[in-house]
């Protein structure tokens, strides 16, 4: 997403300036060409050499250098940039820009920017809460400047509260968001993720190897593309780099079913990426089962098939299912597509290295109701999520215009 993007990273003089180094690395890792601009005060915290080494570009601190020494010559950075990020943004820089002051290279550049400018503020909690800073933030927002954070937590000045630089993952997510076309705007999407956990007794349970990564990737990408997202998850250890996704935690398949049903009518699209347990213990015991000699027979009964139930009352919904298989992948997936009345099924041979549970990558085939198959190579789960959502967008458009099924996959 950030490949070949020209990004200006403005660093101002706060203790969180050291975190801007990590932000730079993450942007470079994603393929961006980053030009760092530092204020005089920022140089007290981190040496320009650090940013210069990691960005591979000269760090700009003074007006004159921009026009003389740098390889971009007379073309100003403001003209070539796709985005400017100021992280950390101090109370001082917010105040200066909100009041139209341009007395150094960074503030002058901000004034000349025609592309989005993102501020990641970081300061003492009382400074952040001061009416001066709050007024300046409002003013900047009214001018179209964007903000991420600050976050709550321990502060470098001692104490705790809102004032920490947002997590680097959240800043990166915000940057990716700014560059993403909002082709799912207006759509409400329900995504399920993770395993379900079926209790045997108060201590033990049955579950499966799903970690929730595929569902989380789908939820994140759908939100990035403008959808309103509700993510219903079984137990997992994952965190989302955004706070604008409604997350509901459940344990058992029955609980997942109940929550899904509650939200179903109100959504347009359901993507069931959860590995819902097919069976649960017939009786969940209230007391721990005592260790005895010999065998212990556990009787299982079927869990509700959530997706099948959704398919039976499909209406205008778009339904996407997953089929994790260890054999006869396509036959099984095709059958589930029909049985559950789905629009798309994502077939996943979990025996392949790099595919299925727990990995950051996946190898899938996407089948539609017309029997068409799109085979994808080994890709990150984020990439797979985006391709699945591309198909969903086509279905949404078709529905909106009442067109026949899309011809090009």
The active-site residue out of 157, 169, 285, 289 is: 157
Nearest residue (CB) to ligand C5P, 325 versus 382: 325
Structure tokens at 372: 């068409």
Residues between 330 and 349 with contacts to ligand C5P, criterion CB under 6 A: 336
Nearest approach, Cβ of residue 255 and ligand C5P (Å): 12
* Contact region with ligand C5P (CB under 6 A), list: 155-163, 234-242, 302-310, 395-403: 302-310
Would you say how long the chain is, in residues? Answer: 409
Contact 89, 120 (CB under 8 A): yes
Query: Which residue lies nearer to ligand C5P by CB, 60 or 306?
Result: 306
Residue 384 is a binding residue for ligand C5P (CB under 6 A): no
In degrees and rounded to multiples of 5, residue 125 shows phi and psi of -60, -40
Choose which of 82, 176, 201, 305 interacts with ligand C5P (CB under 6 A): 305
Q: Which is nearer to ligand C5P, 94 or 276 (CB)?
A: 276
The interface region with ligand C5P, picked from 50-58, 138-146, 228-236, 298-306 by CB under 6 A, is: 298-306
303 sits near ligand C5P (criterion: CB under 6 A): yes
CA nearest to 236, candidates 205, 193, 279: 193
Cis peptide before 150 (omega within 30 of 0): yes
Binding of ligand C5P at residue 272 (CB under 6 A)?
yes
Task: In whole angstroms, give the CA distance from residue 85 to residue 70.
Answer: 20
Binding segment (CB under 6 A) for ligand C5P, from list 27-35, 78-86, 180-188, 318-326: 318-326
278 makes contact with ligand C5P (CB under 6 A) = yes
Name the token pair of 385. Answer: 């999520």
Q: Do 80 and 115 touch, CB atoms closer than 8 A?
A: no
Distance, CA of 333 to chain centre: 27
- 157 catalytically annotated: yes
- Give CA separation, 113 vs 38, 88, 91, 172, 402, in Å: 16, 18, 20, 20, 42
Smallest distance, Å, CB 259 to ligand C5P?
Answer: 12
Residue 121 dihedral angles phi and psi, to the nearest 5° = -70, 155
Residues 119 and 145: beta-carbon distance below 8 Å: yes
Catalytic positions, written as ranges? 157
Residues binding ligand C5P (CB under 6 A)? 253, 272, 274, 276, 278, 303, 305-307, 321-323, 336
């Amino acid at each position: 997403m950030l490949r070949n993007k020209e990004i200006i990273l403005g660093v101002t003089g706060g203790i969180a300036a050291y975190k801007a180094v990590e932000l730079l690395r993450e942007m470079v890792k994603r393929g961006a060409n980053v030009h760092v601009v530092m204020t005089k005060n920022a140089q007290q915290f981190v040496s320009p050499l650090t940013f210069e080494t990691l960005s591979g570009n000269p760090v700009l601190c003074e007006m004159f250098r921009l026009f003389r020494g740098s390889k971009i010559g007379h073309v100003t950075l403001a003209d070539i940039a796709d985005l400017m990020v100021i992280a950390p943004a101090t109370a001082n820089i917010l105040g200066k820009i909100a009041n139209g002051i341009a007395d150094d290279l960074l503030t002058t550049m901000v004034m000349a920017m025609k592309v989005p400018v993102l501020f990641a503020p970081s300061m003492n909690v009382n400074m952040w809460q001061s009416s001066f800073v709050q007024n300046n933030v409002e003013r900047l927002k009214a001018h179209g400047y964007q903000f991420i954070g600050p976050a709550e937590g321990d502060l470098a000045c001692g104490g705790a509260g809102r004032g920490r630089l947002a997590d680097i993952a959240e800043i990166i997510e915000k940057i990716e968001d700014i560059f993403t076309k909002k082709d799912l705007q207006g759509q409400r999407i329900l995504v399920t993720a993770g395993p379900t956990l079926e209790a045997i007794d108060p201590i033990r349970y049955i579950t499966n190897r799903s970690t929730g990564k595929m569902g989380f990737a789908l939820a994140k990408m759908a939100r990035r593309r403008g959808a309103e997202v509700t993510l219903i998850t079984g137990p997992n250890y994952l965190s989302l780099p955004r706070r604008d996704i409604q997350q509901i935690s459940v344990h058992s398949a029955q609980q997942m079913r109940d929550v899904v049903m509650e939200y179903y009518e109100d959504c347009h699209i359901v993507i069931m990426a959860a590995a819902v347990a097919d069976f649960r213990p017939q009786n969940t015991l209230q007391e721990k089962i005592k260790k005895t000699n010999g065998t212990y027979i556990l009787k299982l009964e079927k869990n509700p098939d959530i997706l099948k139930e959704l398919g039976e009352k499909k209406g205008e919904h778009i339904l996407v299912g997953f089929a994790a298989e260890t054999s006869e992948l396509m036959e099984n997936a095709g059958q589930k597509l029909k049985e559950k009345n789905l629009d798309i099924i994502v077939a996943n041979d979990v025996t392949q290295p790099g595919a299925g549970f727990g990995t950051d990558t996946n190898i899938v085939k996407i089948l539609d109701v017309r029997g068409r198959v799109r085979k994808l190579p080994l890709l990150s789960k984020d990439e797979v999520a985006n391709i699945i959502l591309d198909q969903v967008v086509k279905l949404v458009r078709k529905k909106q215009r009442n067109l026949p099924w899309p011809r090009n996959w």
